[in-house]
Structure 1
């Protein structure tokens, strides 16, 4: 069985917005890892994962997101989740990881939060 995860990237100054659609699991997580690493290596300080299109996420997917949340924080940036409803919201709640990620209702709200944080010099 092949899982399908579609990824698309948009850049907004020092922030990369990565939209995920489909299933984030053991087979597709390496692709997300590569895209996130490429964005950080390419100068993006902040990552916004638009997860509203995820239909499934397993522990490997969670681990990938958590690893990059830590990596961006260490580099002085941040990782935010936009649109974490339904399946992903439930998984984050059940695993106790809901508090580990700044979450916003949508990408626009994430970008506004990052803009306010930049103005104040503080990031989640």
Structure 2
């Protein structure tokens, strides 16, 4: 578990080739480098998947959104899948406004996100 300025990142047990990161707290200019680093450490390979569980996220600014878009791109480049799970309507709203719901995969729960990546 990593904790930095109100952001907690917890790696949960994988489901097959799908890894799960739970992100809670505030994802902003100060904390997004911590998530970026955690994502870099995963080393995704073709056929892998990553679910970022965000039900505990209280705040996400444009810097946090940029890290998630970058994670999507890196997953695609690696031949892996990425899904976001458990976003509250308030957190998901900016993604909708920016049209990112067409780029990123959003799911109500980790189970649904894992199923979508399998």
On whether the aligned pair clears a TM of 0.5, the verdict is yes
| CA pair 26-20 structure 1, distance change in 2 beyond 3 A | same
Bigger fraction of residues in strand: 2
* 4+ aligned runs moved over 6 Å, structure 1: none
Query: In 2, Cα distance between the equivalents of 1:106 and 1:21?
Result: 15
What residue number does 2:80 align with? 77
Query: In 2, Cα distance between the equivalents of 1:8 and 1:94?
Result: 28
Counting only pairs closer than 5 Å after superposition, residues 25-44 of structure 1 correspond to structure 2 as 25-40=28-43
On the 8 A contact 1:19/1:51 being kept in 2, the answer is yes
SS of the aligned residue for 1:74 comes to helix
| TM-score (normalizing by structure 1) | 0.83
On the 8 A contact 2:46/2:79 being kept in 1, the answer is no
Superposition deviation, residue 88 in structure 1? 1.6
On the 8 A contact 1:16/1:44 being kept in 2, the answer is no
| TM-score (normalizing by structure 2) | 0.87
2:31 aligned with 1:21, yes or no? no
Query: In 2, Cα distance between the equivalents of 1:33 and 1:44?
Result: 21
Query: In 2, Cα distance between the equivalents of 1:42 and 1:76?
Result: 7
User: RMSD across aligned C-alpha pairs, in angstroms?
Assistant: 1.9
| CA pair 82-41 structure 1, distance change in 2 beyond 3 A | closer
Gap regions ≥5 residues in structure 2: none
On the 8 A contact 2:55/2:85 being kept in 1, the answer is yes
Gap regions ≥5 residues in structure 1: 116-124
Superposition deviation, residue 98 in structure 1? 1.8
Bigger fraction of residues in helix: 1
Query: Between Structure 1 and Structure 2, how many residues are aligned?
Result: 114
